Amino acid sequence: MADAGMLRFHVPEPEVRPGGTPDFSNVSIPKAGSVPRPKIDVDPRDIRDLAFSIIRVLNRAGEAVGPWAGLLSDEELLEGLRHMMTLRSFDARMQMAQRQGKTSFYMQHLGEEAVSCAFRKALSRGDMNFPTYRQAGLLIADGYPMVTMMNQIYSNEADPLKGRQLPIMYSSKEHGFFSISGNLATQYIQAVGWAMASAISNDQKIAAAWIGDGSTAESDFHSALVFASTYKAPVVLNVVNNQWAISTFQGIARGGSGTFAARGLGFGIPSLRVDGNDYLAVHAVAKWAAERARSNLGPTLVEYVTYRVGAHSSSDDPSAYRPKAESDAWPLGDPIVRLKNHLIQRGVWSDERHAQAEAEILDTVISAQREAERHGTLHAGGKPSARDMFEGVYAEMPPHLRRQRQHAGV
Amino acid sequence: MPRRTMIEAIRDAMDVSMARDERVIVFGEDVGFFGGVFRCTQGLQAKYGKSRCFDAPISESGIVGAAIGMAAYGLKPCVEVQFADYVYPAYDQIVSEAARLRYRSNGDFTCPIVVRMPTGGGIFGGQTHSQSPEALFTHVSGLKVVVPSNPHDAKGLLIASIEDPDPVIFLEPKRLYNGPFDGHHERPVTPWSKHELGEVADGHYTVPLGKAVIRRPGAAVTVLAYGTMVYVAQAAAEETGIDAEIIDLRTLLPLDLETIVASVNKTGRCVIVHEATLTSGFGAELSALVQESCFYHLEAPVARVTGWDTPYPHAQEWDYFPGPARLGRALVETVEA
């Protein structure tokens, strides 16, 4: 036997670090329209290649091509564009509000707007999302009031969560948006449990689980896939691969596995990869997976290939770990620009109307912000009472909390 | 009245609850077809079907995480962790999610789940079949923590826990499953059929959460106990002849402080006993509360008799387990102090 020599420890590294030239030449991008659209009752074993490809609809010319195209009307696409633009505008204002000290913290969706906005439109009322902190598009696209979102961000007197939660940890049962937790991946298995409950109750509702690339390394990701597979739960298991987990590139979580979608294959779960910056592709794949779930065909895993253009959060500076212009080099471009170009190509939109829409949306966001700020910001104006702090720990306040509330004098 | 073992009482509680409310779902490892490694769920799958009682993958975080999702949907899952020693993979789900869901969502979502788990030692279970992790849960805001000591209470407390709108950690002292145990391991075990607390009524009844009960009235010293230690305390009182007032706490969180304070103010002395390790154990909380609430009535330091601060050993079982001799010495010292 040959002498293997001493063992060497392997730690994956991203291709480029700050100061280097962004390089995505290793990211293989199939042509738009080139990936087939299987029937929803396909045998998962027959579509294993979809876990290693990327489903895309919009081509370079802005045309919608291939078998995943053609699901959405002009009106629906214009509405989708508006949702994405609203989310981006909302993000920019709230990021600024954080810088102005009106709140403690914010996280943007820059570059990932298509994922949550398009996905929401594939669900029905009553379905439940179990989102992470980077899917506020689910709320925007469902018509959840921006003022209420801002009230939560400001922890003001009108905050629906009474100032108990860190900014952006929204909750809305009514809008199918499960309460966000700071603990990563926990909601992934909860989504599966919710879906199991819907099946146990012979309901018709489905669940959607959400996780980022980095958090797939958490054990709850694994338990969710086991439970979803075992009980054929009506759930769409979404993995948003934006290439970064704070400073850690996706290769650290992905390891030697070809893709995050490929993780689903070992569980017998049909797994698809989709261009996360292509509104039409995201919607089409989400619709496919939702139909599968609703038809009792079980879970689907979907990996959205996208790029986190912004900083991880308002507390992060990405220039410390990745090239500044890396997002410009991202081969899948910008989701808003791509849908805009498609709508122009379709003859229902123009640069002028886009600029006008941008201005209108900004006005709407600013007036929502004014209204929210009338209820206070984190350090000024109306705020939740200290009494609210003691409520809601239990359905009924137990004696020890009652004593503590009295002790606090509130 | 029919007599039941604690196992039968617990099974009956789930049976009654499942019959009354179709939202009650029971699952866990080996819980379905086989009926549980301790037989606590025997027959439930046959009676209620696989969608009400089923086997789960070996994944504690999966079991509790799925239960939380089900509760958010509107079901009332009563899940089993095979041994309390194996709850740690689910700790994140319990602490970060179940306990806080109501609070963080301002009641938008709630988590009415019960997590049942066999707890405690005295069975040569070694390090991973003997632990008493209750203090890891009593430290968590938003949880309720229950430890029954007999079949009657086990059934009533479990039904109350299933009906409770908040998440409940339900710790079942497995040493008490088949009969009371006072720490005299050299003697044969008396079955519950020979014990008055083995009388378990048919049908629905509850024992309220948050209410302690005095098992033995006394004047000389208050003993705060729960689970197996209730019987150890009774034996210690009998063997030392000390007129101890023994309180079975039943619910650790929320705690029945009123009953404790009334008793200690009367006796002026307090001994706390639990199987769990000493340092930062639940006894520390009890001791602090007694000291704060009864300082001017106390005639002796509050004593704690507990497991040692070591992992639970195998061969040294009876050197570790706080039996009646060790508790008896503490009673004598406290009364004579």
DSSP calls for A130-179:
E--TT-THHHHTTT--HHHHHHHHHT-TT-TTTT-S-TT---BTTTTBPP
The verdict on a CB contact (< 8 Å) between A200 and B105 is no
Q: At what angle do helices B151-163 and B6-20 cross, to 10 degrees?
A: 30
Residues 6+ apart with CB under 8 A from A370: none
* Cα→Cα distances B131→A101, B148, B326, Å: 48, 16, 19
Write the pLDDT tens digit of every residue in A75-87: 999 999 999 999 9
The ranges of chain B with pLDDT < 70 are none
Give the nearest partner residue to B257 out of A178, A393, A399, using CB atoms.
A399
- Given a contact cutoff of 8 angstroms between Cβ atoms, the answer to whether A291 and A127 are in contact is no
Task: Kindly state whether B204 is in contact with chain A, defined as any CB-CB distance less than 8 angstroms.
Answer: no
b/e code B230-254 from CB counts within 10 Å (16+ = b): bbbbbbbbeebebebbbbbbbbbbb
Rounded Cα gap, residues A146 and A87, in angstroms:
10
In chain B, at which residue ranges do the beta strands (DSSP E only) sit? 24-28, 53-55, 76-80, 114-119, 144-146, 168-173, 213-216, 221-225, 244-248, 251-253, 270-277, 303-307
Nearest C-alpha in A relative to B167: A394
φ, ψ dihedrals at B26, nearest 5°? -120, 125
Rounded Cα gap, residues A71 and A68, in angstroms:
8
Q: Please list the pLDDT of chain A residue by residue as tens digits (410 residues).
A: 567 899 999 999 998 999 999 989 888 999 999 999 999 999 999 999 999 999 999 999 999 999 999 889 999 999 999 999 999 999 999 999 999 999 999 999 999 999 999 999 999 999 999 999 999 999 999 999 999 999 999 999 999 999 999 999 999 999 999 999 999 999 999 999 999 999 999 999 999 999 999 999 999 999 999 999 999 999 999 999 999 999 999 999 998 888 999 999 999 999 999 999 999 999 999 999 999 999 999 999 999 999 999 999 999 999 999 999 999 999 999 999 999 999 999 999 999 999 999 999 999 999 999 999 999 999 999 999 999 999 999 999 999 999 999 999 99
Rounded Cα gap, residues B112 and B90, in angstroms:
16
Residue type, position B31, single letter? V
Q: Among A77, A351, A114, which residue's Cα sits nearest to residue A359?
A: A351
Rounded Cα gap, residues A269 and A296, in angstroms:
13
Q: Among A157, A173, A156, A166, which residue's Cα sits nearest to residue A207?
A: A173
- Pick from A190, A203, A232 the residue to mutate for testing the B interface (most B CBs within 10 Å): A190
Give the nearest partner residue to B101 out of A179, A191, A223, using CB atoms.
A179
Rounded Cα gap, residues B280 and B209, in angstroms:
24
The verdict on a CB contact (< 8 Å) between A196 and B74 is no
φ, ψ dihedrals at A43, nearest 5°? -70, 120
The verdict on a CB contact (< 8 Å) between B69 and A399 is no
Task: Kindly state whether B240 is in contact with chain A, defined as any CB-CB distance less than 8 angstroms.
Answer: no
Average pLDDT in chain A: 97
Q: Are strands B168-173 and B114-119 parallel, antiparallel or unpaired?
A: parallel
The alpha carbon of residue A392 is apart from the nearest alpha carbon of chain B, in Å, by 5
pLDDT of residue A1: 58
Nearest C-alpha in A relative to B75: A197
pLDDT of residue A257: 84
pLDDT of residue A4: 80
> Is B129 marked active-site?
yes
Write the pLDDT tens digit of every residue in B79-93: 999 999 999 999 999
Task: Kindly state whether B111 is in contact with chain A, defined as any CB-CB distance less than 8 angstroms.
Answer: no
Scan for tokens 């799925």, then name that residue: B66
Interface of A with B in 229-288 (CB under 8 A): 230
Task: Kindly state whether B115 is in contact with chain A, defined as any CB-CB distance less than 8 angstroms.
Answer: no
Give the nearest partner residue to A162 out of B97, B106, B141, using CB atoms.
B106
Within 8 A of A220 by CB-CB distance, chain B residues are 61-62, 65, 92-93
Rounded Cα gap, residues A305 and B191, in angstroms:
62
Rounded Cα gap, residues A216 and B18, in angstroms:
36
- Given a contact cutoff of 8 angstroms between Cβ atoms, the answer to whether A33 and A59 are in contact is yes
Within 8 A of A197 by CB-CB distance, chain B residues are 25, 69-70, 73-75
Within 8 A of A200 by CB-CB distance, chain B residues are 25, 51-52, 70, 75
Task: Kindly state whether B212 is in contact with chain A, defined as any CB-CB distance less than 8 angstroms.
Answer: no
Give the nearest partner residue to B108 out of A130, A171, A226, using CB atoms.
A171
Interface of A with B in 140-179 (CB under 8 A): 160-162, 164-165, 169, 171-173, 178-179
Q: List the structure tokens of B193.
A: 């059929």
A-B contacts (CB, under 8 Å): 146
Residues 6+ apart with CB under 8 A from B311: B127
Nearest C-alpha in B relative to A130: B69
Q: Are strands A244-245 and A248-249 parallel, antiparallel or unpaired?
A: antiparallel
pLDDT of residue A26: 83
- Given a contact cutoff of 8 angstroms between Cβ atoms, the answer to whether B37 and B82 are in contact is yes
Give the nearest partner residue to B93 out of A171, A186, A226, using CB atoms.
A186
Write the pLDDT tens digit of every residue in A180-192: 999 999 999 999 9
Within 8 A of A299 by CB-CB distance, chain B residues are none
pLDDT of residue A256: 85
Task: Kindly state whether A19 is in contact with chain B, defined as any CB-CB distance less than 8 angstroms.
Answer: no
